[in-house]
A and B are shown apart, each in its own frame.
Chain A
Amino acid sequence: GESVGLHLPTLSVQEGDNSIINCAYSNSASDYFIWYKQESGKGPQFIIDIRSNMDKRQGQRVTVLLNKTVKHLSLQIAATQPGDSAVYFCAESTRSHNAGGTSYGKLTFGQGTILTVHP
């Protein structure tokens, strides 16, 4: 089955600490995974993505790890700041192909995690 929305778990950290947010995905056929940040009353904001043929990818202050064996995805945020406080969602997708070339298929979102960073 596909991931279903549930009440969101929470993670509280102190400013400067590293944060690790976890996500379990459901579709073994997914080949594209994305982390989004959503602030209150706003749409999701892209953070970082990773393809299924990779197990790690780094960005600025963020690292995404992918473990396909157990269908697990994690987002690590280094030196967490108060501005990082938000809800974080993982999403999975399969790429599709149309006449215009490769495009992204629909996203299935994970349950999300509320991150609160205390000054």
Chain B
Amino acid sequence: GAVVSQHPSRVICKSGTSVKIECRSLDFQATTMFWYRQFPKKSLMLMATSNEGSKATYEQGVEKDKFLINHASLTLSTLTVTSAHPEDSSFYICSASGRARYSGANVLTFGAGSRLTVL
């Protein structure tokens, strides 16, 4: 089945540094990728939607200069948290939408998430 590989699963960084999280689609081309943020015991909040080769569309209240999203290929999207601060500590999850390579079926699959801790 369609798999999305997200890494790192856990990352700890110092305040002021930047962190990059990668999301790769395996066995399918992800025409659209979504990035979510989740706080403990809360629901997933959509941060942005990115279509391959286009600029990401950010949800209201999400700082695009703070959370840089790149979707340069049909199998890779990255989220970079720039100048991270402790309040950016959270669980970040990507999902990818596209067509499965062999079946041609539409798929929407989530990554396993990345736990970011900013000290």
Contact between chains at A43 and B93 (CB < 8 Å): yes
Complexed CA–CA distance, A106 and B106 (Å): 14
Contact between chains at B43 and A110 (CB < 8 Å): yes
Q: Which of B34, B42, B112 contacts A107 (CB 8 A)?
A: B34
Number of interface residues of B (CB under 8 A): 27
Q: Using CB atoms, name the residue of chain A closest to B110.
A: A43
Q: Sort chain A's interface into a size bin.
A: 20 to 34
Complexed CA–CA distance, A36 and B113 (Å): 14
Q: Which of B43, B98, B111, B115 contacts A109 (CB 8 A)?
A: B43
Q: Using CB atoms, name the residue of chain A closest to B108.
A: A104
Chain B interface helix/strand/loop/mixed: strand
A positions within 8 Å CB-CB of B: 3-8, 36, 41-46, 89, 98, 100-104, 106-112, 114
B positions within 8 Å CB-CB of A: 4, 6, 31-32, 34, 39, 41-46, 49, 91, 93, 95, 97-99, 106, 108-113, 115
**A-B residue pairs, 5 tightest by C-beta:** A5-B43, A43-B110, A5-B42, A109-B44, A43-B112
| Cβ contacts A to B, 8 pairs, < 8 Å | A4-B43, A5-B43, A5-B45, A6-B42, A45-B110, A103-B32, A104-B106, A109-B45
